[in-house]
Amino acid sequence: MAILDSKRKEINAKIVYYGPALSGKTTNIQLIHKKLRPDHRGKLMTLATQGDRTLFFDFLPVELGVIRGLKVRLQIYTVPGQVFYNATRKLVLKNVDGIVFIADSQKKVLPENLESLRNLEENLRDYHRDLKEVSLVFQYNKRDLPEISSVNELQSALNSYGAPSFESIASQGEGVLPTLTTISKMVINKLKSTPRLTPIESLRDEPSKESPDRPQPPSHDPEEEQKALETLKPPPVSRPSPGAPPPRGEVKPPLKISPPPQAQPKMDEMEIIELGKPEKISSNCFNIPLTVRNKRSAAKFVLNLTLKVENLGTITAKAASATNPKS
């Protein structure tokens, strides 16, 4: 749902790049940002939450003209593909006008493609929207790799919507800009037929007149998106101060003395800054050297990873241990 910014005399529309992890979403976004004229694009921003990131920038596609005397500002997002970051993906989909689904062409990744598409459909349904009603383009990436599905196979498995599709090698820039041009034109053409746009002021200042059960979309403001994404972090646990009396009506339990717990490092302060080359120990066991850093120090570990083939050919991984070579 595009937003009217009357102060800037602009229409803000959102395009989201969706797809499984490592399919090429970030590569697309970074290359597009690099190719656009600096005076037509904004800064490439990272909206960070606990353990993941969302890339964002906006630009004015001057060559596509204006609508009712208003410039159109397209805002481009990409979301984390890992399954456990669904809260972030769902949040970014609010108010989406166009979606580019980046599929990995490798045959072994087809189940992840299907799962990501199903997840996209479910998240849109939570906002009472149907993917059939949203401008959609498919991009079949990594066409230069061996063991890939044919375009016909990918179309049959994924594109039941009859949406435009492109082959791509995003790492080499092939197919990236045609994908963007097509989804941009689709979004703008749909805006031209939209009878009424929602003013951005009404989203920020006025109470919603919609049903309270219907999710309400926020404005396309990066600062507002950042605040919303920050709410995904778990709230701090409140604890009464030592020696404080219990609340009225409650029985104070007997005092128990226990050894102080050992301080544990906060997981959200840690990040992997280096991954070494895996060393094959056996047919399904690998040692992977990695370097982990938090705010105070960095340490090297060796991760022992065991792979297992489940039913239907699904591969699962289990980390047996992570040891510090210096210990």
Judged by DSSP in three states, 93 sits in coil
Strands 285-293 and 298-309: antiparallel
Q: What is the pLDDT of residue 297?
A: 74
Per-domain residue ranges of the chain: 3-204+216-230, 270-323
pLDDT attached to residue 319 = 66
- What local confidence, expressed as pLDDT, does residue 209 receive? 41
Considering only the top CATH level, what class is 3-204+216-230? alpha beta
pLDDT at 67: 79
> How many CA atoms lie less than 13 Å away from 67 in the CB half-sphere?
26
This prediction has a pTM of 0.61
DSSP letter string, 115-128 = HHHHHHHHHHHTTT
DSSP assigned state of 296: S
- Residue 281 structure tokens: 């120990």
Structure tokens at 183: 């989804």
Mean pLDDT per block of 10 residues along the chain (327 residues) reads: 76 92 91 88 74 67 72 87 77 93 97 96 96 97 97 97 97 96 94 72 44 41 54 49 54 54 53 72 76 73 72 59 61
Q: ∠ CA(284), CA(285), CA(286), 5° rounding?
A: 130
Torsion angle in degrees (nearest 10) through CA of 92, 95, 99, 102: 10
Q: Could you give the residue ranges of the DSSP H alpha helices within the chain?
A: 25-35, 86-92, 110-125, 151-158, 176-192, 200-204, 222-230
**pLDDT, position 58:** 77
Q: What is the secondary structure of 147-202 as a DSSP string?
A: SB--HHHHHHHH-TT---EEE-BGGGTBTHHHHHHHHHHHHHHHHHT-S--EEHHH
Give the model's pLDDT for residue 70.
86
Residues 300 and 315: beta-carbon distance below 8 Å:
no
From 144, 148, 124, 127, select the one nearest 136 (Cα to Cα).
124
Q: What is the pLDDT of residue 85?
A: 78
